[in-house]
């Protein structure tokens, strides 16, 4: 899973990136206008607890990759810089986090001279809309020419969908807000359009703005853009300093500033929701492992995530939910209480299931 961190210049993208990935970018790296990438282990207390119980040789967290992309200026969507340095990095992301600057800092000038949440969010969205319209326009042209030549039935079905999406964008509505049906979604997904990607808005606050979080969320929800987007708030500067501390010191720091949940936790929590994914676990003396899968994944597909052999030679899955396992203390006890089950291929995996694949 890959999440792109995007936003206007100097909004705090690299600050957030460094905080959640615990990497350090020096001034030279930051000034280079390059993309930074890092893989983060997804914290999971259930996996920690199971590791304590099983004492395996290895503990493996599910991971997520974050990409810190260069800032996007108003009007950029037409430039070659945009196509090469921005689009190529963002197209393949599964979801996007848009960092919006609210923090005040005299030393760092805002590109448009003032702090304005809704202006910045819509400036950014407009660039995405223009870019998607340009892509659709050229595709519509090509499809029309092809239909004239070949009368291709698939293309004939595709054309009205493309035109419909173009109209939606022309109405200044991002495609993630359009109620497309399954067929339309399938076609549109293949184009990797920017406004179709799940988007999380991350408000970068300074320490005086905590009291206004609800007000900011309210503004977003009431706007056309924010209707179906999720938002989180974080304290860029403070949380970056915090990420360099030990866990114990960071906890004291968080209490002091009244921060209940770290930026990483909030981000993962909300992006899981946006992406419609959740986790299951596998345990053993060799390894305890957490895995991320789409909600609705069945036991056979989950087995395939763990190992292709498990997919090919699947017989049944032994399933115990983490809560039951902890409640009863062992597989045997869970079985006694009827919490241990043998499930077939079609079983839909739940968040927190511990799964043991029986295979031949």
Ligand X SMILES: Nc1nc2c(ncn2[C@@H]2O[C@H](COP(=O)(O)OP(=O)(O)OP(=O)(O)O)[C@@H](O)[C@H]2O)c(=O)[nH]1
Is 4 near ligand X (CB under 6 A)? no
Q: With left for phi above 0 and alpha for psi between -120 and 50, is residue 193 left, alpha or beta?
A: beta
Out of 35, 37, 60, 105, name the contact with ligand X by CB under 6 A.
105
The residue range among 12-20, 242-250, 283-291, 339-347 that interacts with Mg ion, by the rule CB under 5 A, is 12-20
Nearest approach, Cβ of residue 101 and ligand X (Å): 7
Query: Helices (DSSP H) in the chain: which residue ranges?
Result: 13-21, 27-31, 45-54, 80-81, 88-90, 117-150, 153-170, 182-189, 213-222, 236-242, 247-257, 263-275, 299-306, 308-312, 322-328, 331-336
Q: With CB under 6 A as the contact rule, which of the stretches 34-42, 103-111, 116-124, 253-261 interacts with ligand X?
A: 103-111
**Near ligand X in 185-214, by CB under 6 A:** 204, 206
Please tell me the count of residues contacting Mg ion according to CB under 5 A: 2
User: What is the per-residue binding string for ligand X in 10-39, x denoting contact by CB under 6 A?
Assistant: xxxxxx--------------x---------
Member of 4, 236, 304, 352 binding ligand X (CB under 6 A): 236
Q: Is 14 in the site for Mg ion (CB under 5 A)?
A: yes
CB of 111 to Mg ion, least distance (A): 13
Q: Which long-range contacts (CB under 8 A, 24 or more apart) does 34-38 make?
A: 34/70, 35/67, 35/68, 35/69, 35/70, 35/85, 35/89, 36/67, 36/68, 37/65, 37/66, 37/67, 37/68, 38/65, 38/66
- Least separation in angstroms between CB 217 and ligand X: 18
Q: Decide if 15 contacts 204 (C-beta within 8 A).
A: yes
Which among 34, 82, 43, 42 is positioned nearest to 65, based on CA atoms? 42
Shortest Cβ 330–ligand X spacing (Å): 47
**Which region among 5-13, 56-64, 107-115, 201-209 touches Mg ion (by CB under 5 A)?**
5-13
Closest CB to ligand X among residues 136, 264:
264
The only residue of 217, 237, 265, 326 in contact with ligand X, by rule CB under 6 A: 237
Find the shortest distance in angstroms from Cβ 103 to Mg ion: 15
Please tell me whether residue 71 binds ligand X under the rule CB under 6 A.
yes
Q: Are 95 and 198 in contact (CB under 8 A)?
A: yes
| All residues at 6 or more sequence positions from 267 whose CB lies less than 8 Å from its CB, including other chains | 3, 20, 97, 200, 202, 232
Nearest-CA neighbor of 16 among 127, 96, 93, 119?
96
Q: Does 163 bind ligand X (CB under 6 A)?
A: no
Complex with ligand X: residue 204 or 271, whichever CB lies closer: 204
Contact 193, 132 (CB under 8 A): yes
R_g over Cα of the chain: 23
Closest approach of Mg ion to the CB of residue 91, in Å: 19
Nearer to Mg ion, 13 or 266 (CB): 13
The site partner of 237 among ligand X, Mg ion, none (C-beta below 5 to 8 Å per kind) is: ligand X
What does the binding site for Mg ion look like in residue numbers (CB under 5 A)? 13-14
């Amino acid at each position: 899973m890959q999440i792109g961190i995007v936003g206007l210049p100097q909004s705090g993208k690299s600050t957030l990136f460094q905080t959640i990935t615990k990497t350090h970018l020096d001034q030279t790296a930051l000034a280079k206008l390059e993309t930074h990438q890092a893989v983060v282990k997804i914290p999971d207390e259930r996996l920690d607890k199971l590791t304590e119980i099983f004492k395996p040789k290895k503990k493996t967290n599910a991971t997520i990759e974050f990409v810190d992309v260069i800032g996007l200026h108003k009007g950029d969507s037409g430039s070659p810089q945009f196509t090469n340095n921005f689009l190529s990095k963002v197209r393949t992301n599964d979801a996007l986090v848009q960092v919006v600057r609210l923090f005040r800092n005299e030393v760092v000038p805002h590109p448009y001279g003032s702090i304005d949440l809704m202006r910045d969010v819509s400036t950014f969205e407009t660039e995405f809309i223009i870019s998607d319209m340009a892509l659709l326009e050229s595709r519509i042209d090509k499809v029309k020419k092809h239909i004239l030549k070949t009368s291709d039935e698939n293309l004939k079905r595709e054309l009205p969908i493309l035109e419909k999406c173009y109209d939606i964008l022309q109405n200044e509505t991002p495609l993630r807000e359009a109620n497309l049906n399954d067929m339309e979604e399938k076609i549109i997904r293949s184009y990797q359009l920017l406004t179709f990607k799940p988007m999380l808005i991350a408000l970068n606050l300074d320490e005086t703005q905590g009291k206004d979080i609800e007000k900011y969320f309210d503004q977003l929800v009431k706007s056309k853009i924010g209707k179906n987007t999720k938002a989180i708030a974080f304290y860029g500067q403070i949380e970056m300093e915090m990420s360099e501390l030990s866990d114990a010191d960071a906890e004291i720091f968080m209490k002091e500033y009244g921060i209940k949940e770290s930026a990483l936790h909030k981000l993962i929590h909300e992006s899981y929701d946006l992406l419609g994914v959740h986790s299951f676990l596998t345990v053993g003396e060799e390894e305890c492992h957490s895995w991320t899968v789409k909600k609705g994944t069945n036991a056979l597909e989950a087995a395939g995530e763990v190992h292709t052999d498990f997919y090919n030679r699947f017989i049944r899955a032994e399933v115990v939910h983490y809560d039951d396992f902890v409640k009863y203390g062992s597989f045997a006890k869970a079985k006694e209480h009827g919490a241990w089950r043998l499930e077939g291929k079609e079983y839909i995996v739940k968040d927190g299931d511990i799964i043991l694949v029986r295979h031949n």
